[in-house]
Amino acid sequence: MNHVSVLLTEAVEALAVKPDGIYVDATFGRGGHSRAILDRLGPKGRLIALDRDPAAIAAGQAIADPRLTLGHAWFGELADVLDRLQINAVNGVLMDIGVSSPQLDEAERGFSFRFDAPLDMRMDTTQGETVAEWLARASQREIGEVLKDYGEERFAHAIAKALVAARSERGISTTGQLAALVEKAVPTREPGQHPATRSFQALRIFINRELEELALSLPQATDRLAPGGRLVVISFHSLEDRIVKRYLREQSQPVQPPKGVPVRAADLPPPRLRLVGKPVFPGAVEVKANPRARSAVMRVAEKCA
């Protein structure tokens, strides 16, 4: 399955692209959003696109456009990348959080229980531990906490216990082994959902530090936005969206003075961001054409002057 960018039109509209502006696509994927941004940029416009996945960067080499700069980096490294490029301010940042269709559909990446493949799940295959390596050394308590905290898995304790028992006998090195062990340990599951769905999601989010990267990247994006610049974030999971929603809400409220300090409201610094519109969800037509879009939510904010 080819990667289909979710909320493509809505996201690019929300960026309010200026022809001569500088924009960041912090999660390039297969370039759907980037191509749409380039279509709206003029000859003097510029787009910096980042991705931690070497396969995504390789795919991006096919875009022969001098206005595009591709960088192999995590979106939590946004500020470092802009520093290296000597860019102080940008007119918009787009983040499309989560896993891409090619990552899910290429068996050897180990993201999906639909295939029996090496248990990897790293978005950046050039560095870090695989899920198989982590499961081989983590304690039962650590495994249980990851499943509970990142997958909201109510049977986390039972699954962790089963995984630790199984690894001492034969190890856990493939997606098929992991899925079968979880399925056996989970007594019941929501209709239509594979018993291992939450466990795979939790391990993927944990091993790639997805929530930590998101929390790091939001302030960096805000710092680098020029006044009037837009921050557009698409999330696919309640844990991600909670981080985004909380951050945008905090940054869009006036700074409160210390208790008991007499300061006039007019003398307080203004909020850093203002919220733009309400959360945007994919419509029925998009969800029917691309079922993976069903859990997406887009939030938009603008940098205050």
Rounded CA-CA distance 95/72 in Å is: 15
**Does the annotation flag 194 for ligand binding?**
no
Q: Which residues pair with 22 in a beta bridge?
A: 46
**Does the annotation flag 31 for ligand binding?**
yes
Rounded CA-CA distance 5/68 in Å is: 18
**237 neighbors 205 (Cβ within 8 angstroms):** yes
Residue 45 is encoded by which pair of tokens? Answer: 């416009």
What are the two backbone dihedrals, phi and then psi, of residue 252, each rounded to the nearest 5 degrees?
Answer: -100, 5
Rg of the chain in Å (alpha carbons): 21
Rounded CA-CA distance 225/236 in Å is: 24
**Does the annotation flag 229 for ligand binding?**
no
What are the two backbone dihedrals, phi and then psi, of residue 22, each rounded to the nearest 5 degrees?
Answer: -115, 125
**Does the annotation flag 51 for ligand binding?**
yes
Rounded CA-CA distance 17/124 in Å is: 30
**Does the annotation flag 103 for ligand binding?**
yes
**Does the annotation flag 113 for ligand binding?**
no
Q: Residues forming the annotated binding site for S-adenosyl-L-methionine? A: 31-33, 51, 75, 96, 103
Q: Residues forming the annotated binding site? A: 31-33, 51, 75, 96, 103
